[in-house]
Amino acid sequence: MRLLDTEDFVDFVIKNYSNVERVVEIGVGAYPFVAVRLKELLPSVSVIVTDIDRVKLATIKEECVELEPVYDDIFEPQLTFYVGADLIYAIRPPPEMIPEIMKLALKVGSDLLIRPYFNDEGDYDYPKLYGWQLTTHKRAIFYLFKKVDAI
């Protein structure tokens, strides 16, 4: 099931991160649509997708050979997958994952995009103290945390 704002989300990434080397999607699940589209439009960029479901990752590896699927648990992340990432993003992550994703982005010095489940905070209070910005690009509504805004 492709989200209505997938192309708009991808367009934002293309316009703002077209000169990067590595992008990582956390918690890809069974829906690698954003990652696949990014790889199509940015063929020289390494696009890594992570999840804790090995079956879903195996399917992605089979069906989306252009992506780099890796098993990783955000609650005990293996930093080697994220070091050098210019952008980390998550599409509709559970609220309990968001602080862990933010810690990871801070640790590796990456920008972070969170597309919440709905066009609201998705049960997570994005702390303005840390520099989260509610961002709209066409129909896409998401939260942006830029590494330069970090405290």
Residues 76-93 pLDDT 10s:
999 999 999 999 999 989
Whether residue 65 is contained in a domain is answered as yes
Which whole-number Å values give the CA distances from 80 to 84, 107, 138, in the listed order?
Answer: 9, 12, 34
Q: Which residues constitute the domain of residue 98?
A: 6-149
Give the 3-state secondary structure of residue 9: helix
Name every residue whose Cβ is closer than 8 Å to that of residue 125 and which is 6 or more positions away in sequence: none
Whether residue 145 is contained in a domain is answered as yes
Whether residue 70 is contained in a domain is answered as yes
Whether residue 127 is contained in a domain is answered as yes
Whether residue 1 is contained in a domain is answered as no
- Please, what are the averages of pLDDT over each run of 10 residues along the chain (151 residues)? 76 92 94 93 95 96 94 96 94 89 93 76 57 82 74 41
**Looking at the 3D structure of the chain, how many domains does it have?**
1
Whether residue 98 is contained in a domain is answered as yes
pLDDT at 119: 46
pLDDT at 147: 78
pLDDT at 148: 63
Whether residue 131 is contained in a domain is answered as yes
Whether residue 88 is contained in a domain is answered as yes
Q: CATH code at 18?
A: 3.40.50.150
Report the b/e string of 96-133 with b at 16+ CB within 10 A. ebbebbbebbeebebbbbbbbeeeebbebebeeeeebe
CA-to-CA distance for 114 and 126, rounded, in angstroms?
10
The percent of residues in the chain predicted with pLDDT above 90, rounded, is 62
Task: Give the tokens for residue 98.
Answer: 């968001």
Give the 3-state secondary structure of residue 90: strand
pLDDT at 52: 96
